[in-house]
Structure 1
Amino acid sequence: MKGATALAAAGIVAACAAVLLGASGEQPVHPFPTVGVLMANGEHWCTASVVDSPKGNVVATAAHCVAPAGEDGRPGEVAHDGLAIGELSFAPAFSGEGAGNRPLGVWKVRSIHVDERWTKWGDETADFAFLTVEPDGQGRSLQQRVGHGEAPRPDWTSGYEREVTVVGYPESDHNPQNKPVSCTTQTRHDTDDPDMLYISCAGFWTGTSGSPWIADRGGTGQPGRLIGVLSGGDTDVDSTAALYDERAKALYEAAARG
């Protein structure tokens, strides 16, 4: 787990640029405007990202970021680090020291959608979640705010071998400027659990749980396909993700209706 307390992965990494102002001085420019910090009670908790949806109101993250793992068919009581999860919100394009800059606002989470394979059994292959967020004070959707052409569409039938770009926000101990880190690399089956995706990339420390794994990402107007989110990694050289499936699709559709 790489949410509030666990460590992460190593390999090839590139630190992304901080938020810059466009030529007009009004519109924030950011290399990954759809990716940001999932906050619990206003504090950096995990990473999350906007996923394309009809109403523009859906965010993807890891299940362990929003719901305790169940065991033996019974719901868990606390998060993986033993802490209460708290009230959730999402700040896309977050950056900057301390409390950071939130150029695209802070979006209240209305509802969370998690597979019962996670909430009852703690099944790592279901460690994904979709969140429905409220519109902002002006009635705009989250996707309107970050840009409709920026959010990747989900892919429910991906194979295990894909080139992906993974983007996440390490917590401030490893990342005092609160800049996102990214890595573009090849996925494969995890050796220890072949049902999980695996990459080797550096820089994905605590706080990067929920980072999107985006395949087929191109230039402007080519946001790619979201095939999963960062779930865990037992050492500082590993990251894993649960591959999206039909159960993930059902959760997404429920979130999109919210």
Structure 2
Amino acid sequence: MSPVVKGASAAAAAGIVAVCAVAFLKSPGERPVLPFPTVGVLMAGGEHWCTASVVDSPKGNVVATAAHCVAPAGEDGEPGEVAHDGLAIGELAFAPAFSGEGDGSQPLGTWKVRSIHVDDRWTKWGEDTADFAFLTIAPDGDGRSVQEAVGGGAETPKPDWTSGYERDVTVVGYPESEHNPQNKPVSCTTQTRHDDEDPDMLYISCAGFWTGTSGSPWIADRGGPERPGRLIGVLSGGDTDVDSTAALFDERAKALYERAAAG
């Protein structure tokens, strides 16, 4: 069974593990402390579409998200024509640490997506185990990379291409405004396992991952300062409103990442 995707218009997960709506804190005279600066909203046509996150790369120009957020699923070897909800995807941009009511604010700017990299297993066959994508992000007007803007290597998880299925992870996502009017990220720290219905997929049970959280990073071994963890996958969907699944990164994911990083 294909999972229910959690992008722009699909039901999402609620479960038994605590999820926090994360506040943005600021001391007098200081810039806000952003708890998850590498994670943000993937916008399509200027609207909240999915969640995406910066992943460590040599040029600092790579963002990870779900394939269904950026490319239609194929079927029987043929490319799809529209997104999972039947809508055109639109021009993509990334707003790390997005927050605020309505249109919200972009404390770390809005970054243009230069190119997208998606596996043929997704674009031709719609395989759930390939529901990941890597985006090349253009530098800003000052020549900075998106990774520099979010705090550099001290904040940015490195990718892990050989992870096992049982890991302690922190998952961070942006539900749509219907369930999250202030557009704050929600997070959950729990343990992954094989999905019962599709053992090739990762599974967690967590509350609060509503529509809009597709593409949320699954970060293993995240700790304190200088321990940004390892990115092992991104949120793909869930069979019910209490489940979340992710495709585990593999060697083909690595090949997509390398293409994005070279851009």
What TM-score results when the alignment is normalised by the length of structure 2?
0.96
Per the alignment, residue 123 of structure 1 pairs with 127
Give the CA deviation at 1:137.
1.2
3-state SS in 1 of match to 2:84: coil
Letter matched to residue 92 of structure 2: L
CA–CA separation in structure 2 for the residues paired with 1:19 and 1:133: 25
Percent of residue pairs identical: 81
Per the alignment, residue 52 of structure 1 pairs with 56
Give the CA deviation at 1:236.
1.1
Per the alignment, residue 238 of structure 1 pairs with 243
Give the CA deviation at 1:8.
1.3
CA–CA separation in structure 1 for the residues paired with 2:238 and 2:160: 23
Letter matched to residue 173 of structure 2: G
Question: 5+ residue gaps in structure 2?
Answer: none
C-alpha contact (below 8 Å) 1:32/1:93 kept by paired residues:
yes
Give the CA deviation at 1:138.
1.0
Per the alignment, residue 202 of structure 2 pairs with 197
Structure 1 position 71 matched with structure 2 position 108: no
3-state SS in 2 of match to 1:71: coil
Give the CA deviation at 1:16.
3.4
Question: 5+ residue gaps in structure 1?
Answer: none
Q: Deviations over 1:204-256 (max 9, x none)?
A: 00000000000000001100000000000021110000000000000000000
C-alpha contact (below 8 Å) 2:19/2:206 kept by paired residues:
no
Question: Aligned residue pairs: how many?
Answer: 257
Per the alignment, residue 144 of structure 2 pairs with 140
C-alpha contact (below 8 Å) 2:222/2:228 kept by paired residues:
yes
Letter matched to residue 189 of structure 1: H
CA–CA separation in structure 1 for the residues paired with 2:72 and 2:81: 6
Structure 1 position 250 matched with structure 2 position 255: yes
Letter matched to residue 65 of structure 2: T
Letter matched to residue 259 of structure 2: A
Partner residue of 2:21 out of 16, 20, 28: 16
CA–CA separation in structure 1 for the residues paired with 2:189 and 2:240: 19
Q: Matches of residues 163-182 of structure 1 in structure 2 within 5 Å?
A: 163-182=168-187
Structure 1 position 37 matched with structure 2 position 37: no
Give the CA deviation at 1:22.
4.8
Give the CA deviation at 1:23.
4.9
Deviation beyond 4 Å, 4+ runs, structure 1: none
3-state SS in 1 of match to 2:189: strand
Q: Deviations over 1:164-211 (max 9, x none)?
A: 000000000000010100000010000000000000001000000000
3-state SS in 1 of match to 2:72: coil
3-state SS in 2 of match to 1:223: coil
